[in-house]
Structure 1
Amino acid sequence: MSQDSKRLLEILTAQPVVPVVAVDDAKVGVELARALAAGGIRSIEVTLRTPAAIEAIRAIVAEVPDMVCGAGTILTPKQFEAAEKAGAQFIVSPGATVEVLDAARGSDVPLLPGSATPSEMMAMLQEGYEVLKFFPAEQIGGAAFLKSIAPVIPQLKFCPTGGVSMKNVSDYLGLPNVLCVGGSWLAPKDKVASGDWAAITALAQEAAGLQQQP
């Protein structure tokens, strides 16, 4: 197993759910990260879907030492470089292009590339990636798909993201090839907007208590 895969294993197995969040203000991002950390969540994926994302990553890394902060929705080498410079501790992409893989090769920050088909998974394995994002999980077969993949490509471990919620999360966490899931339900937009950090901490505590496959 590559060094990057080992580092990703450490990050992704620290909790059953990695919150996937979009923030419009860096200060709000810090408060959100603190609330999640208070509930036992140890890593967060801040998606580059808002203008404030890079600054939020930089602020979380600087001000919330209990939280491992990653950057998500990385689509280009330029975004990869910006997230790296901001201090992102892991990078998440919804898929994998030659350009993004090249950027990852020249970086010390581990990449969690997305995959959706057996061919993509085989290609990532050939590139040395044994830990992958499975996206969009529910829309392309969900837990049943990953269950069927497990005996075929047993080397791979996944973080399913997309359509995962408290209603179906146990279906994923019960699979031997799932390390954790990515989910946005830990940071509801209305709770973030109103600054209801206690409610978010309670959601984090519930998520942190979920049982993973031994």
Structure 2
Amino acid sequence: MHPLIPRLRAARIIPVVRTSTAARAATAVAWLQEAGFRVFEITMTVPEAPALIRALSADPDLLVGAGTVPDARTAEACIEAGARFLVAPWVDPALAPVAQDGGACLMLGAMTPSEIRAALAAGADMVKIFPAGSAGGPQHIRALRAVFPDVAFCPTGGVDARNAPDYLAAGAACVGMGGRLVDEALIAAGDRAAVRRAAEDALGIMRA
């Protein structure tokens, strides 16, 4: 087991930060950090994402990873910037050597049992189930866990504060939460209070 997996399990929720500007992504992280989050996935769809990862990784309290990593070269740049975990919503064997060399936890995406086996064969430490909501939700995770009891799953896509506990009860190691938590419209409007409320609600449900 990769040594970061227990920390990701303990976090339960990984905010997936996907915004149209780096400034909005940084704002989202700051507001969510104020609410109590310490683990963040910065997707490569954010402009200048590696630079943002570098800035965030300077804070020793944060565990920062890179999401939607398209290729090995980008993975190398992210690890060099301080990313501790790499996430791709597909199976890409080229990411495994980079992750291993950098000591990063690798999460590859899958939906079916065949894809999960392919992800594990490609070197995944964890398997991202995406899109989880349209794949069958918590029941899909429960069914997969029956076949793969030792695999750490992280469902993402359609996960919100209300159904996140159901995913965890079904056997997910943690969940990725994107637009339901990192609402760019609220960030653009400067509605810090609304973002904080959503974050605190999510954390409160997890603690309960």
TM-score where L is the length of structure 2? 0.88
The match for 2:10 is 14
Does the 8 Å contact 1:75/1:93 carry over to 2?
A: yes
Post-superposition CA distance 1:102-144 (Å, at most 9, x none): 3223322221111211112223344564522111111222211
Does the 8 Å contact 1:33/1:67 carry over to 2?
A: no
- SS of equivalent to 2:96: helix
Tell me whether 1:32 sits opposite 2:28 in the alignment.
Answer: yes
**How many residues get paired?**
207
Higher alpha-carbon deviation: 191-200 or 67-76: 191-200
Q: Aligned pair in 2 of structure 1 residues 106, 113: CA closer, same or farther (>3 Å)?
A: same
The match for 2:177 is 183
Does the 8 Å contact 1:35/1:201 carry over to 2?
A: yes
Cα distance, 1:212 vs. partner?
7.4
The match for 2:73 is 78
Residue identity matched to 1:170: P
Tell me whether 1:116 sits opposite 2:111 in the alignment.
Answer: yes
- Report the Cα distance in structure 2 between the residues aligned to 1:89 and 1:23, rounded to whole angstroms: 20
- SS of equivalent to 1:114: strand
- Report the Cα distance in structure 2 between the residues aligned to 1:102 and 1:14, rounded to whole angstroms: 26
Indicate which of 19, 23, 39 corresponds to 1:43: 39
- Report the Cα distance in structure 2 between the residues aligned to 1:123 and 1:26, rounded to whole angstroms: 33
* Gap regions ≥5 residues in structure 1: none
- Report the Cα distance in structure 1 between the residues aligned to 2:130 and 2:164, rounded to whole angstroms: 14
Residue identity matched to 2:104: V
- Report the Cα distance in structure 2 between the residues aligned to 1:97 and 1:137, rounded to whole angstroms: 19
The match for 1:145 is 140
- Report the Cα distance in structure 1 between the residues aligned to 2:130 and 2:107, rounded to whole angstroms: 11
- Report the Cα distance in structure 2 between the residues aligned to 1:147 and 1:110, rounded to whole angstroms: 23
- Report the Cα distance in structure 2 between the residues aligned to 1:136 and 1:70, rounded to whole angstroms: 19
Q: Aligned pair in 2 of structure 1 residues 83, 96: CA closer, same or farther (>3 Å)?
A: same
Residue identity matched to 1:91: L
Q: How does 1:61-210 map to 2 (within 5 A)?
A: 61-62=57-58, 64-126=59-121, 129-175=124-170, 177-184=171-178, 185-210=180-205
* Gap regions ≥5 residues in structure 2: none
Q: Aligned pair in 2 of structure 1 residues 156, 212: CA closer, same or farther (>3 Å)?
A: farther
User: Which structure has the higher relative contact order (CA within 8 Å, separation 6+)?
Assistant: 1
Q: Aligned pair in 2 of structure 1 residues 59, 197: CA closer, same or farther (>3 Å)?
A: farther
TM-score where L is the length of structure 1? 0.86
Q: Aligned pair in 2 of structure 1 residues 55, 129: CA closer, same or farther (>3 Å)?
A: closer
Aligned-residue sequence identity (percent) comes to: 35
Residue identity matched to 1:178: A
Higher alpha-carbon deviation: 182-191 or 160-169: 160-169
